[in-house]
Amino acid sequence: MSKPHWHPAHITDLPAIGAIAARIHPDLPERPEVFAEKMRLYPDGCRVLIADEEIAGYGLSHPWRRHRIPPLDGFLERLPDDADCLYVHDVAVLPDHRGGAARAYVAKMEELARASGIAALALVSVYATRPLWERFGFRPVTADAELRAKLAGYGESATYMLRDLAAT
């Protein structure tokens, strides 16, 4: 049994990513084409967790703008030229392989953001995972009306969160 590790995602990983997404996020479905676009636009932020020679999780991130949430199951079309955060779109890990996997992915994304001159990470916490993200240094952002409207599509407990890398 090898220790789980993050590996760059490839288009051939989409069936496994889709199966994990359907299992972890049954109420927040996204099309494989949406995942594929993120992988095409920003491959450095797209990883799969390999455990026992199988894909046991995935993480998808890309440059974006603070306080703007990309549409769930919507295409980005292109990355913004004025990106000021690395948006962690999703981190999903099968239950048997949790226990540090999400933290390791976030650490990789922090390194990537810093190397790119990006000073913050952003995400939407769903399914009451806010305490987990707070342990990783993310803080909730008070949402204005526009942000609240976008968060509504992510479920009742959705919270927009930021992690300022300059503070860490």
What is the SS3 assignment for 32?
A: helix
Higher-confidence residue of 156 and 86: namely: 86
End-to-end CA distance of the chain: 34
pLDDT of residue 86: 98
Distance of CA 150 to the CA centre of its chain: 16
What pLDDT digit, counting tens, does each position of 109-125 carry?
Answer: 999 999 999 999 999 99
- Which residues contact residue 18 at a Cβ distance below 8 angstroms, ignoring those fewer than 6 apart? 32, 35
CA atoms within a 13 Å half-sphere pointing along the CA-CB vector of 32: 11
pLDDT digits (tens, 9 = 90+) for 22-48: 999 999 999 999 999 999 999 999 999
In this structure, the number of other CB atoms found within 10 A of the CB of residue 115 comes to: 9
pTM, to two decimals: 0.94
Percent of the chain with pLDDT over 70: 98
Please give the mean pLDDT across all residues of the chain. Answer: 93
